[in-house]
Homo-oligomer: A and B are copies of this chain.
Amino acid sequence: MAKTADRYFKVDPWSVIEEGFDPAYSRVSESVFSLANETMGIRGCFDEGGSMDSLRGAYVNGVYDLEELPRSYRGIIDHTHFMIPAADWLMTKIRLDGEKLDLGRVRFRDFRRELNMRTGTLTRQFVWEAASGKELRLSFLRFTDMVHRERAYQRITLEALNFTGEIAVSSGLSFDTVHEGYRRCFWQETYAETEADRIMLQARTTRSGQEVFAGAILDMPGGFIAEKDGKAVHGRGTIRLEQGKPCTVEKRVVLLFNGNGGESLRQQGKNALAECGRISAEEALAAQRSYWEAYWQISDIRIEASGAETEEAAEAEQQGIHFCSFQLAQTYNGGSTRHNIGAKGMTGEAYNGHAFWDTEACCLPFYLFTRPEAAKNLLLFRYNTLPMALERAKMLDCKGACYPIATLNGDEACSLWQHASLQLQPGTAVAYGIWHYVHLTGDDGFLWRYGAEMLLQIARFLASRAARGGLTGKYGFYGVMGPDEFHMMVNNNAYTNYMGKRTLEYAARILQRMRAEQPEAWATLAEKTALGPEEPDTWMNMAEEMYIPCAENGLIEQHDGFFDLPHTEINDVPVSDFPLYEHWSYDRIYRTDMIKQPDVLMILYLYNSSFSREAKRVNYEYYEPRTIHESSLSPAIHSVLAAELDRMEDAVRFFGHATRLDLDNYNRNTREGLHVTSIAMAWANIVYGFAGLRSDGDMLRFAPRIPDRWKRLSFSLVCRGRVIRVRMEKAGTMFSLAEGAPVSIRVYDREYCLGTEELTVPCMI
């Protein structure tokens, strides 16, 4: 694997630390130092701005605008939507004797920036050496409030080190925010107001007509004068600094977004701001600390090195896994059924804030085992957007529901037809997610009320899209792009066929069960969807006759003709060729046996217990050397399978990549934002990989394999009201129940009852 780590940040288990500022890493740092609280997100950019390379991005979840696309063929979307930067609430300007604070230009020392993952705060300090000789220590603190999700805080502390005098500070809110790709502002101001201690603004997006309220209570020593400047409002003040006496400027911010807009939003915003004013920033910070403390109680994964020589590596991995867990929880925590998980969360504008099928295929297990109600809400997002998926299927001359490959609001937003029209994995991933959720939670209420309808429409879509092969005589999907996006317009992609088969089967079974167990609900659903009495049987029949191109030894051909593709020796691809999409002619990517990410292996990952160890070995050995991992989801899935196959060297190597993907900028594009969904795979890498969890059987199964360099690995899992703690060591693994009733689990190949006593299972591998 040609990709390598590019380590820049200091390693610490609970913090990401930057000591000294390297402008070359400016955007990488901005991404890594991102904060969010599910309803808003902000990149780690400097409060005071500056002339360094920067993507200044403050986002509100669910806020987007629209753009028309050139008219093209039928089934190809004619407009798209994308996340836009919303209110910039950090906006600060600082001038000392007319010299503007700009770390791209001024002299400074002792720069330190730290993201503290135990408190969810970002701090920054440095000493500004002004041209006049005056020295000023500045400290910045910010956080997005995890308790009151509409709130955010900013604190700036100024300390004159060698002088007493005045400094000009302005702090404000601005909708004059520019989308980097489109190079324009999408906001029209609809309201602005100031009071003695607060400033308020409201603005509407140009085409989507969404409205956001932004308000801030400004606490500035000596007060401020409010000034309007375009689509921004600033509070401008002059602060008298006494040498050696720190002095703070504080901003308590409220960002409110809802569908109503106008007057009503304004009033809600004012109320929310008043509410916010009732507690101090310090009190909010204390609540924030408690929140994260509780979070880590459940979600912490602890790694301990086996000895001095592996300590550094283990600590880096510990930091990596904390960072992944932290960023994932910031991005989505189950607070809403109207949002999904953008591939880059709210940490950048690449991928336009869109969510992909990664949500169900990769992120869902993290939530299922830490916060099941969040998993449910993610599935309800798909239920809420079912009407758009029905429309999309019609555009494609199909029936049922076709879920989008990229979306913020449920509409297909991917302007590349080869992805939007050929990738059928969003639908099968939703079906898989429903199955996994119901399987683990037993939430049949969800199944009958929401799940069955989605399954029905997804199955209907698949049935209308499948066709019988002219030679095989079996069903298959023709003209598709599987998970491996380096091959398109292929036939009988094994992943698509297999997932289609399982989805059709599952949908048919569920509807048959529903008819028997819930006749009334079934009748209502059948009427609503005009379900033909023969439809589930047809699906079952199609599933039985689905073509799966599997050789006798278990080797599955990725798609028809894959084995004949010209070979590319992936180790011969020079590092300078990455990312391939930028350096290779577009068509060249598609005509070799090099694959972007697991495709056949993805089947073995998702339906693990349906395949023999030998089949896994054969397929791993064939596909792993052909995989270039241009998808950030790829290494973790390989790591999980490698661990299962006792290829611990591979497993550890892929894990390092997965868990520090952004911290070490493996893919050389962290500057664009964090790989939020692949971050979820780092969690799965440990739990499914090293602990060997399998959740597709009748009970949870573990097969712990601890890497040599770790002494201990511990984590917790939430499942059906229980909290199971797992502590893996060289000699064996300890299981205990922190909460809930006794439960049967399988470890390696034996069944145990986990009760009040700690259970120790010796290592068997």
Which residue numbers of A lie inside 8 Å of B, CB to CB?
Answer: 72-76, 395-398, 417, 421-422, 467-472, 478-479, 488-492, 560-561, 563-567, 581-588, 590-593
Most buried by B among A76, A421, A478, A590: A478
Residues of B within 8 A of A489 (CB): 488-490, 590
Give Cα A677–Cα B583 distance, bound, in whole angstroms: 37
Other than the known A470-B563, A479-B590, what 6 A-B pairs have Cβ atoms closer than 8 Å? A75-B586, A396-B587, A397-B584, A417-B586, A417-B587, A469-B566
Residues of B within 8 A of A417 (CB): 586-587
Q: Nearest residue in B to A421 (C-beta to C-beta)?
A: B587
Could you tell me if A588 and B470 are in contact, using CB atoms closer than 8 angstroms? no
Q: Which of B396, B469, B584 contacts A588 (CB 8 A)?
A: B396
Residues of B within 8 A of A488 (CB): 489
Q: Which of B75, B564, B582, B590 contacts A471 (CB 8 A)?
A: B564
Give Cα A72–Cα B70 distance, bound, in whole angstroms: 14
Given the known inter-chain contacts A422-B587, A561-B560, A581-B73, please indicate yes or no for A566 contacting B468, CB distance below 8 A: yes
Q: Which 4 A-B pairs have the closest CB atoms?
A: A75-B585, A479-B591, A467-B566, A73-B586
Ordered by A's residue number, 5 sampled pairs between the chains whose C-beta atoms are within 8 Å are A74-B583, A74-B586, A397-B588, A471-B564, A560-B564
Residues of B within 8 A of A469 (CB): 564-566
Given the known inter-chain contacts A583-B74, A587-B75, A587-B421, please indicate yes or no for A566 contacting B397, CB distance below 8 A: no
Could you tell me if B479 and A585 are in contact, using CB atoms closer than 8 angstroms? no
Could you tell me if A479 and B567 are in contact, using CB atoms closer than 8 angstroms? no
Residues of B within 8 A of A567 (CB): 470
Shortest Cβ distance from A764 into chain B, in angstroms? 39
Given the known inter-chain contacts A491-B561, A565-B491, please indicate yes or no for A478 contacting B585, CB distance below 8 A: no
Give Cα A399–Cα B590 distance, bound, in whole angstroms: 18
Could you tell me if B587 and A470 are in contact, using CB atoms closer than 8 angstroms? no
Give Cα A585–Cα B412 distance, bound, in whole angstroms: 15
Give Cα A591–Cα B559 distance, bound, in whole angstroms: 14
Could you tell me if A467 and B591 are in contact, using CB atoms closer than 8 angstroms? yes
Shortest Cβ distance from A551 into chain B, in angstroms? 13
Shortest Cβ distance from A574 into chain B, in angstroms? 13
Q: Which of B395, B564, B585 contacts A470 (CB 8 A)?
A: B564
Residues of B within 8 A of A74 (CB): 581-586
Could you tell me if B421 and A591 are in contact, using CB atoms closer than 8 angstroms? no
Residues of B within 8 A of A588 (CB): 75, 396-397
Could you tell me if A479 and B587 are in contact, using CB atoms closer than 8 angstroms? yes
Shortest Cβ distance from A756 into chain B, in angstroms? 57
Give Cα A422–Cα B418 distance, bound, in whole angstroms: 14
